[in-house]
Chains A and B, each alone.
Chain A
């Protein structure tokens, strides 16, 4: 069970709320930033020195640590490119996603 679904969800029907009253959502959308990303960061593992600058700057905290390099969780990476811009080793390249 995920953290979110551990709460009881509000049941509009049980609360007798008409379905045309106020727009509310009680089902969580599975859409993550990775679904609409147009560029993806790719790490050159030879250049990465694990300085963690990308980890510091990533606005969505999608940087993952591996034994010898840092990589990205592509489900949550939105492709903003801040990591590539900030990397002192120039180890990150932004590649266009296939359309």
Chain B
């Protein structure tokens, strides 16, 4: 749980919640079970495999009433779920890295068909060099495909966000698939104390399921789903634009819905997470560092140390990465004079981190120049420690008085 959460008024509400010890992959599986999906389709891949095992165990033990399809590959996994969602089922899967790459064709189509499928990405770095370890490269690579993508910081947040993801995806103003990203290694296998919400409470939170009201495989409602649309003439161009614009509208709507669902979650379960952008000790800060995912824990410790040492530094953490929460982020960026952005992946085109690149886009709307720089760390399972963040803080502080380097800083270069 974040420090920000401790300051919220919702914390006072008592809720009957069992406390357990589990890893992030098990937390995701427990969250899925509580959300009562009708079908899960899976194919195991490191570091997601234990998530699939936990899902299978939930079903084998009779704690989850869902069909599980052990498909022959990730392409089939998502295709199976598309059919299940069109038939009215609540659906879930999880993958990462090469599995996500193999899934790409139905992955693109899922968002266009507005199917509210929830998929965890247990983030893994890209190949090559050969790697089975964590990194955000896989999720970052598909950030432009129209899925809502949220990144978790803690194991508890994984569990809570997995349940919330279904509600966000199935909201009638959104109707988009959602990726819950949890850092491979650090969250997938990180074992910690978790409060398990009560099933009755979760049922009340989720409400009535209605996922194929817009497009269905249903003999009573005959229709062709996703017929060939577009082309150079006739109704084609305007039809295609209409659906693409609708998709963009759904993405923008999701920013509001993500906030609303997090608010409702806090009211009901007493745990509050910043839905879009979290500020940590930002008020009064001259400059800030920006993080994503599980690295934020170490970053907050470094910020605490730096603030205790008299530095005027704060932290901005993104939870929602797609759609990029520009308005919410600008409110935070408007408070500072310099920014250092830490990415756990590489933006090959811009020679910087992808989150840094996206933040540059947001900064353009600020109408004020903020010197900034990109840090890349934690690739392929490398640790980003408090010591690394201290280097980030010191380098960012220098931006207040000196020039901003064009080259990114590679945090694990000498580890």
Smallest beta-carbon distance A7→chain B, Å: 5
Q: Mark B213-226, 1 if CB is under 8 A from A, else 0.
A: 11110011111111
Nearest neighbor of A11 in chain B, beta-carbon distance: B221
Considering the complex, which residues of chain A in the window 1-27 have a beta carbon less than 8 Å from any beta carbon of chain B?
Answer: 7-10, 15, 17-26
Q: Point out the residues of chain A lying under 8 angstroms from B3, CB to CB.
A: none
**Contact partners of B108 in chain A: CB under 8 A:** none
Of all chain B residues, the one with the shortest Cβ separation from A10 is: B221
Q: Interface size of A by Cβ–Cβ distance < 8 Å?
A: 15
Q: Roughly how many angstroms separate A22 CA and B246 CA in the complex, as a whole number?
A: 9
| B-side contacts of A15, CB under 8 Å | 213, 221
Centre residue among A9, A21, A22, A25 by max chain B CB count within 10 A: A22
Does A22 contact B242, Cβ atoms closer than 8 Å? no
User: Which of B215, B219, B242 is A24 in contact with, Cβ under 8 Å?
Assistant: B215
Is A22 touching B222 in the complex (CB atoms < 8 A)? no
A25 touches B242 (CB 8 A): no
B243 within 8 A of A: yes
CA distance A34 to B391 in the complex (A): 70
For A25, what are the chain B residues with a Cβ–Cβ distance below 8 Å? Answer: 223-224, 227
- Tell me the smallest distance from the CB of B238 to a CB of chain A, in Å: 11
Q: Which residue of A lies closest to B113 (CB)?
A: A22
Interface SS of chain B: loop
Give Cα A25–Cα B239 distance, bound, in whole angstroms: 12
Contacts of B246 in A (CB 8 A): 18, 20-21
Does A20 contact B226, Cβ atoms closer than 8 Å?
Answer: no
Q: Which of A22-57 contact B (CB under 8 A)?
A: 22-26
Contact B223 A23 (CB under 8 A): no
Chain B 227-239, CB within 8 Å of chain A: the 1/0 string?
1010000000001
Report chain B residues within 8 Å CB of A9: 222-223
Task: Choose from B219, B220, B225, B243 the contact partner of A20 (Cβ within 8 Å).
Answer: B243
Closest to A16 in B: B213
Chain A residue nearest to B240 in the complex (CB): A23
**What are the residues of chain A within 8 A of B220 when measuring CB–CB?**
8
Task: Return chain A residues, CB-CB under 8 Å to B215.
Answer: 21-22, 24
- Sorting the interface of chain B by its residue count into under 10, 10 to 19, 20 to 34 or 35 or more gives 20 to 34
Interface of A is mostly: loop
Most chain B CB atoms below 10 A, which of A7, A18, A19, A26:
A18
Contacts of A23 in B (CB 8 A): 112-113, 225-227, 229, 239, 243
Per-residue CB contact flags for chain B residues 87-113 toward chain A (1 = under 8 Å, else 0) read 000000000000000000000000011
Q: Is the CB of A17 within 8 A of B214?
A: yes
A25 to B221, CA, bound (A): 11
Instruction: Let me know if A24 and B223 touch, CB within 8 A.
Output: yes
Contact of B226 among A7, A8, A19, A24 (CB under 8 A): A24
Contact of A20 with B227 in the complex, beta carbons under 8 Å: no
- Residues of A near B213 (CB, < 8 A) are 15, 17
Report Cα–Cα, A25/B222, bound state, in Å: 9
B249 within 8 A of A: yes
Docked Cα-Cα span, A15 to B221, in Å, equals 10
**Residues of B with C-beta under 8 A to A26:** 222-224
Task: Check B223 against A21 for contact (C-beta < 8 Å).
Answer: no
Q: Find out whether the CB atom of B222 lies under 8 angstroms from the CB atom of A21.
A: no
Q: With A and B bound together, what is the CA distance between A8 and B222 in angstroms? A: 8
- B245 near A20 (CB under 8 angstroms)? yes
B339 interfacial by beta-carbon distance below 8 Å? no
- The contact string, 1 if C-beta is below 8 Å from chain A, for chain B 195-221, is 000000000000000000111100111
Q: What's the nearest-Cβ distance from chain B to residue A23, in Å?
A: 5
Contacts of B226 in A (CB 8 A): 22-24
Question: Which of chain A's residues have a CB closer than 8 A to the CB of B112?
Answer: 22-23
Query: In the assembly, what is the distance between CA of A21 and CA of B214, in Å?
Result: 7
Complex contact B221–A21 (CB within 8 A): no
13 new A-B contacts, CB < 8 A, other than A18-B214, A21-B175, are A7-B219, A8-B222, A9-B222, A10-B223, A15-B221, A19-B242, A21-B214, A21-B246, A22-B226, A23-B113, A23-B227, A24-B227, A26-B223
Which 7 A-B residue pairings sit nearest by Cβ, starting from the closest? A20-B246, A10-B221, A22-B215, A25-B224, A25-B227, A22-B114, A24-B223
**Interfacial residues, chain B to chain A (CB-CB below 8 A):** 112-114, 175, 213-216, 219-227, 229, 239, 242-243, 245-246, 249-250
| 6 interchain pairs, CB-CB under 8 A | A22-B243, A23-B239, A24-B223, A24-B226, A25-B223, A26-B224
